[in-house]
Amino acid sequence: MDRPVDPQIAQIEKCISFIKNPTVAALPEAKKFVEDSTVPDFVGIPGDTEIKNEDSAAEQIIKTGKAICRMKMTNGVFGNISARVGDRIIVTETGSSLAELENSIVVCDLGGKPLNSRKPSCEISSHVRIYRETKSNCVVHCHPFFMIANSLLYDEPEIFGFPVIKAEIGDGPNGISSFILPAILEKKLAIVYGHGVFTMGNDNFSEQLKAIYDLEYTLCRDKFTSEISRLLKI
């Protein structure tokens, strides 16, 4: 089955094309892109953020999904979130919108096999590997525009000191799950070239959200928009 293509990619490719080959005809659209690239306020997770059991894990996943969308760090159905509780993984359902996860939570065993009637995210294998080989209890994967843009524009092994891996969606020898470790171990965050970002944490999602937000809007956004602004002379 064909996987949906992140609609952000078309906009990113258009921006990169302008950076590499600026034309007079493209100037108005490029200028508008920079002007519209405002920074949203950071959105924390309200209330008690501790994950104590399966119900609280589901609650925190739902809140985290809403926060990610409010901060414009993913687009629609692109991304997945999970938490480990004992011998269970609580994870978002495949194809679900991170803004509306109330009826899209899957309970899996530690091998990623679903224990209810829902199908887990297509990235479940990466979550499983992180839980099997680390002490982390939370994983977030989302598609921040400027991280993806920087990875495609510069094509370097690191972005601001964070590792960039090149891999295909899912498992298999070329899948993200085969490369996510050891890349994510040192800084608990790894960027997937042209795709998005994975982070891992301990007992709640708060630190992960802040790490993604800071990298996206303090560093990656400024670097990418400055490339365009330089060509616009603004």
Taking only the tens place, the pLDDT of each residue in 181-210 is: 999 999 999 999 999 999 999 888 999 999
Domain count, the chain: 1
Domain assignment present for residue 19? The answer is no
Mean pLDDT of the chain: 94
| Residue 182, Cβ density class (10 Å: 0-12 exposed, 13-18 middle, ≥19 buried) | exposed
Report which DSSP code applies to 93: B
Say which CATH number the domain at 203 has.
3.40.225.10
- 199 found inside a domain: yes
Mean pLDDT on 19-23: 94
Cα separation, 54 vs 89, in Å, equals 9
Residue 3 lies in a domain: no
Six-digit token string for 56: 């609280």
The tens digit of pLDDT for each residue in 111-148 reads: 999 999 899 999 999 999 999 999 999 999 999 999 99
Q: Domain range holding 165?
A: 54-225
Question: Of the given ranges (28-32, 44-48, 138-142, 186-190), which has the lowest mean pLDDT?
Answer: 44-48
The 3-state DSSP class for residue 125 equals helix
CA 227 – CA 224 distance, rounded (Å): 5
Enumerate the β-bridge partners of residue 158. 163
- The predicted model scores a pTM of 0.94
